[in-house]
Chain A
């Protein structure tokens, strides 16, 4: 399978703990996006990479969130000092640089903060 891969699929953590998610995009895709989705809502943009450069970060994203994409390959999203409001599905997507390309989403990581 050469689609977008996310790990883990599910994560349950206690409030105040740190969590890290990983995303492996489609290999030839240079753009990588992180979105967050809660029940009944559309995906909400968090941040975006072109190769290894983080080009945009949502103003809604607090300083507790950080993302990296070393060497322009896989990406990690870390949430520090988790809060119950962080509970959501975290979706990763990748796309080609050329033109206006569709996003290919992974299956997501469902985070539950207790």
Chain B
């Protein structure tokens, strides 16, 4: 079955620094979605990427979908304390109804 993997599992960042988290799928995806879960909260949708090689930006967050539609990345610039939380990537395959989630990257920020 489809597996979605994320690295790193934990990211400790100094406030103001940049970092990137990576997502890889064992199978080709129809789309990839990114979610953020704050401590004690539930996953909240951030963005969806559909096209091969697509890049989307949300303020300091840049999301990219790989050319082969099997990997994705999230890059955050000038990290702030509001970026604390766990970032999940999740993908649909063409013949699959379910959205499969990675294990997430948990981000902590040192002020």
Q: What is the interface of chain A, defined by CB distance below 8 A to chain B?
A: 33, 35, 40-45, 48, 50, 55-56, 58, 91, 100, 102-108
Bitwise interface map of B from 82 to 107 toward A, beta carbon under 8 Å scored 1, else 0: 00000010101000011111111010
> A residues within 8 A CB of B102?
42
Q: B2 to nearest A CB, angstroms?
A: 10
Q: Size band of the B side of the interface?
A: 20 to 34
Q: B35 to nearest A CB, angstroms?
A: 8
> B residues within 8 A CB of A43?
43, 88, 90, 101
Q: What is the interface of chain B, defined by CB distance below 8 A to chain A?
A: 4, 6, 9, 30-31, 33, 35, 41-45, 48, 50, 88, 90, 92, 97-104, 106
Flag if B92 contacts A45 (CB, 8 Å). Answer: no
Q: Which 6 A-B pairs have the closest CB atoms?
A: A42-B101, A102-B45, A105-B42, A45-B98, A100-B31, A43-B101
